[in-house]
């Protein structure tokens, strides 16, 4: 009976005072780095499965990511060419070959949409830095070349960068 009263009191406090659960925080850590990229540059180290967003000389925010599987990894320089919240997704031909039953378009916000909460497309190809509907894939070699982030992390990074941001991908 006492447990019921305590639970009832807690629920009443939530309703009356508007207490809400603490929001999920992004997983990015501020770290010191030896590289000397300009502030505002994104560097993805596929071997580490980490994305670094440079915020100052020798300082970056580091996020865990999922990267391309064996044979689907790439390296080079690109830039953010577009930014989208809950984008619809159409599988490129390279993915459609492996998954023939995919619908032509998966609506944004759908639990089946692999882009997650947001996506930032990269110049020069079919790749993007995006959220995911499979958070267990973060930290692995899992994609067809895109960079996957936890949804809270892509939203944090999305708020920090603009179209034109330089992206460097290394192995």
* Residues marked as catalytic: 130, 146
CA distance 156 to 78: 20
Phi, psi dihedral angles at 10 (to 5 degrees)? -65, -45
Q: How many Å apart are CA 161 and CA 169, to the nearest integer?
A: 16
In three-state secondary structure terms, 154 is: helix
CA pair distance 17, 103, nearest whole angstrom: 45
| Contact (CB, 8 A) for 77 and 165 | no
The helix, strand and coil proportions of the chain, stated in percent and rounded to the nearest 5, come to 20, 30, 50
Pairing of strands 67-68, 141-143: parallel
């Amino acid at each position: 009976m006492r447990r019921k009263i305590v639970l009832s009191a807690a629920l009443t406090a939530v309703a009356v005072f508007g207490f809400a659960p603490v929001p999920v925080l992004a997983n990015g850590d501020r770290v010191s780095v030896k590289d000397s990229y300009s502030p505002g540059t994104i560097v993805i180290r596929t071997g580490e499965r980490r994305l670094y967003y440079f915020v100052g000389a020798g300082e970056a925010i580091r996020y865990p990511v999922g990267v391309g599987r064996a044979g689907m990894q790439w390296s080079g320089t690109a830039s953010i060419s577009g930014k989208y919240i809950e984008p619809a997704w159409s599988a490129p031909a390279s993915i459609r070959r492996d998954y023939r039953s995919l619908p032509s378009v998966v609506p944004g916000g759908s639990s089946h949409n692999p882009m997650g909460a947001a996506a930032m497309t990269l110049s020069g190809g079919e790749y993007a830095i995006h959220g995911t509907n499979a958070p267990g894939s973060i930290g692995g070699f899992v994609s067809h070349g895109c960079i996957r982030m936890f949804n809270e992390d892509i939203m944090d990074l999305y708020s920090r960068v603009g179209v034109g941001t330089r992206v460097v991908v290394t192995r």
